[in-house]
Amino acid sequence: MPVERTEQRGADELYKYYEIYDTIGSGGFAKVKLGRHILTGEKVAIKIMNKKDLGDDLPRVKVEIDAMKNLSHQHVCRLYHVIETSTQIFMVLEYCPGGELFDYIIAKDRLSEEETRVFLRQIVSAMAYVHSQGYAHRDLKPENLLIDENHNLKLIDFGLCAKPKGGLEFQLMTCCGSPAYAAPELIQGKAYIGSEADVWSMGVLLFALLCGYLPFDDDNCMVLYRKITRGKYDNPQWLSPGSVLLLNQMMQVDPKRRISVRHLLDHPWVTKDYNSPVEWHSRQPLGHIDEDCITEMAVNMKRSRQSTTALVNEWRYDQTTATYLLLLAKKQRGKPVRLRPERTVCEDSCSPLHQGRQTREVLHLSEDEDAVIVGSLDFCSEYIDDCPWVSVSQYTPQGARGQPDGAANPKDTRLASPSVERRCGYSPTPERGRTTAQQQRQERRCREQEQISENKENVAVQERDVDIFVLPPPRTPASSKKNARANKNVLTTPNQNTNADGAKPNSGTPKGGVSASTEQSQKKAENNESANMEMLAFSPERRSRSLDMAVTGSSGKKKKGGKVFGSLERGLDKMITMLTPSKRRALRDGPRKIKVQYNVTLTSQTNPDQVLNQILSILPDKNIDFTQKGYTLKCRTYGDFGKVTMEFELEVCLLQRPEVVGVRRQRLKGDAWVYKHLVEDILATSRI
Ligand code: ADP
């Protein structure tokens, strides 16, 4: 099949089933965007990888996908859908709005022993499960543990995992992972047992949780390796004797003397205050079939329950798998097991499908961060304003915090049948296929109503979640070698075959799949323009100063937006028409008002402009380039060859309680610990 046809079909599949919003993280390989599965209304994370950029690392993606298809656990991020085109791979994943554990640690400096215990139990639970399935993770670190809406941890990033053919007791040779977390035997190039190496990394992680810094750290790799192989670290005085002992047991240089995961499950430190070992069995075993979800899908697909079950049982990680797993996730959260009706309440311009297509016109998924601005939540809120089935005002906050260990709250009746069924006198019994026409009409009306309120909730949550989107980890840089495999489909996911032939004759991306059409470039330029212009419109009195700084950044280097700034003299009118109503509102309204969150630093000041200016004046001294959009500064540092080494946002915002100015931090790219030190330095030097 011609490359562009495959490309088009893959992209069509994505836009057909998902709405795509802001970028919420990026790693060495991937860009991750917030998405919404149209049929269920559930939020998802869409990991987007460009095959060309992956180069020699392409097999890692296959490893990650294969592993995630075989893992289903309450503390492992769930894979829902895989789409592969000739140039890109999309992984649709369970969405974790709470950000990385890393950011949580640094925001709190360090965690108490009690809170650490909650997290460690979840990590041990995930690792015991992963090992039981024959996998070693090999890249365990706080950047690879995300926090979900219930404050529970989810393990991600299985790109470096291994499943030795002869079982986990077989020795591995490849040295991989992040040096600071790597076990001594691994960095010495010895053969090692994956599960033992994971325990060492868990020890380093435990230390980072309790102390807020790493046990072995040095800018010089050789010195770092020496420290790790010696296994000597200092225990700060605040550690309890129990913590010191456990750390010592986990960070034993000799892997044979290191504690095993099995012994961690009921270790006295781990079970303290719980009086029960860690529960590590999966609460969502692979292959489990839920009758309510099947019934709902059968009705929606107009198939028998039997054939729907057979379809789901194929586990193709296509739209069927995604729909089933997302319905199940809804049910587990106590939401109604309902799919959005085929024809939605508002059908034309704001229908989800249409929304997806519109978004698609302005997104360059693979490479263009700036273009995303138009397809972002601002765009979404415009859509909310116009659309009768989404209203922010109706949003009810969801999700009380989970129990330690992610255990179900005994008082939580969320698994009980949804109230709507009672309201409508409708129950999804297996005989549902035989309901009368009248009943079916009633069901549909009922579901539409339900959908209306659900969508209100979902979209509003998106807005709220923007506040806590957090930060990506460093990864092995993608190989610069662009090999010939780039245009080949490498994943043997059956879902490739299931695509409907929906290719549009004239809308394919150019051969090779790089989105470089003239129209797209123009849109990119416009987006840059609108993004940059906002800063100027925002605060007239700050305009000239900010303009100068944003154009040149710290190094005096002319930024790509500089030219655009020059064109501002053409007047602000053009900008105003380009801005969406919601953006205009944002400019008028001043800094965002947000609640205190862990990634917000409180200042003692009450004037946001003053805080902003203090930060602005410090960035050039620190050699940090930046662009400004309202009260948000997107900051970058560059390496010797002009490569972006670090990318993060600082946003000046207003807090409600206490009523002071805060600075929200968000790492987008680069080493987590380097970022921590840099931001601490900026905020300390700004004297805010
Ligand atoms: P890579 O494989 O390129 O390192 P990751 O899988 O680590 O990419 O993802 C990069 C970042 O994107 C993560 O560190 C995290 O901040 C964000 N991210 C990844 N998966 C999710 C998710 N399921 N939900 C929310 N954010 C995510």
What structural domains does the chain harbor?
A: 3-95+287-384 (1.10.510.10), 101-271 (1.10.510.10), 410-491+536-586 (no CATH), 590-686 (3.30.310.80)
Do 675 and 648 form a contact (C-beta atoms < 8 A)? yes
139 is catalytic: yes
Tell me the CA–centroid distance for residue 620 and ligand 1, in Å: 30
How far apart CA 470 and CA 102 sit, in angstroms, is 10
CA 157 to ligand 1: nearest atom: 6
Q: What per-residue string of b and e applies to 407-424 under the rule 16 or more CB within 10 Å gives b? A: beeeeeeeeeebebbeeb
Selection from 643, 487, 573, 673 nearest residue 2 by Cα: 487
Do 352 and 387 form a contact (C-beta atoms < 8 A)? no
Do 320 and 305 form a contact (C-beta atoms < 8 A)? no
Ligand 1 and 666: CB distance under 6 A: no
C-alpha distance from residue 61 to each of 157, 252, 379, 489, 645 (Å): 9, 32, 31, 12, 23
What token pair was written down for 311? 């379809």
302-310: long-range contacts (C-beta < 8 A, 24 or more apart)?
304/433, 305/430, 305/433
Residue that the structure tokens 């263009």 belong to: 368
Burial class (CB in 10 A: 0-12, 13-18, 19+), 396: exposed
The pLDDT score that the predictor gives to residue 448 is 43
The pLDDT score that the predictor gives to residue 375 is 31
Give the amino acid at 66. D
The pLDDT score that the predictor gives to residue 555 is 36
DSSP 253-273: SSGGGSPPHHHHHT-HHHHTT
The pLDDT score that the predictor gives to residue 186 is 86
Ligand 1 and 471: CB distance under 6 A: yes
Mean pLDDT estimate for the chain? 70
**H-only helix segments in 539-651:** 543-552, 562-566, 572-578, 581-589, 608-618
Low-confidence ranges of the chain (pLDDT < 70): 1-10, 166, 169-177, 342-589
The pLDDT score that the predictor gives to residue 427 is 31
C-alpha distance from residue 456 to each of 36, 314, 419, 451 (Å): 13, 33, 17, 8
What token pair was written down for 593? 């008002």
Sorted by sequence, the CB contacts under 8 Å of residue 98 that are 6+ apart come out as 104, 146, 147, 148, 149, 151, 468, 470
What token pair was written down for 471? 């930060």
22, 29, 32, best to mutate for ligand 1 pocket (most atoms within 8 Å of CB):
32
Tell me the CA–centroid distance for residue 475 and ligand 1, in Å: 11
Q: In this structure, which residue's CA is closest to atom 6 in ligand 1?
A: 157
Q: What is the CA radius of gyration of the chain?
A: 25
The pLDDT score that the predictor gives to residue 313 is 96
104, 146, 468, best to mutate for ligand 1 pocket (most atoms within 8 Å of CB):
146
The pLDDT score that the predictor gives to residue 177 is 62
| Per-residue model confidence as pLDDT tens digits over 311-329 | 999 999 999 999 999 999 9
139, 368, 370, 378: the catalytic one is: 139
How far apart CA 294 and CA 95 sit, in angstroms, is 23
Do 550 and 562 form a contact (C-beta atoms < 8 A)? no
- For 585-643, where are the E strands, in sequence order? 593-594, 600-602, 625-629, 632-638
Is the Cα dihedral 283, 286, 291, 294 positive or negative? positive
Ligand 1 and 89: CB distance under 6 A: no
**pTM for this structure?**
0.63
The arrangement of strands across the sheet holding 18-26 comes to 18-26, 30-37, 43-50, 88-94, 79-84
CA 473 to ligand 1: nearest atom: 14
Residue that the structure tokens 């805060």 belong to: 662
The pLDDT score that the predictor gives to residue 686 is 82
What token pair was written down for 688? 């805010």
Do 678 and 611 form a contact (C-beta atoms < 8 A)? no
Q: In this structure, which residue's CA is closest to atom 5 in ligand 1?
A: 27
Phi, psi torsion values for 481, nearest 5 degrees: -70, 120
| Per-residue model confidence as pLDDT tens digits over 576-614 | 333 334 444 544 568 888 877 778 888 888 899 999 999
The pLDDT score that the predictor gives to residue 523 is 43
How far apart CA 586 and CA 546 sit, in angstroms, is 18
156, 325, 469, best to mutate for ligand 1 pocket (most atoms within 8 Å of CB):
156
Q: In this structure, which residue's CA is closest to atom 4 in ligand 1?
A: 27
Ligand 1 and 68: CB distance under 6 A: no
Ligand 1 and 465: CB distance under 6 A: no
The pLDDT score that the predictor gives to residue 8 is 65
Q: In this structure, which residue's CA is closest to atom 21 in ligand 1?
A: 45
The pLDDT score that the predictor gives to residue 250 is 98
Ligand 1 and 30: CB distance under 6 A: yes
How far apart CA 76 and CA 62 sit, in angstroms, is 18
CA 99 to ligand 1: nearest atom: 16
* Three-state DSSP class for residue 88: strand
How do strand 88-94 and strand 43-50 relate by DSSP bridges? antiparallel
How far apart CA 11 and CA 93 sit, in angstroms, is 17
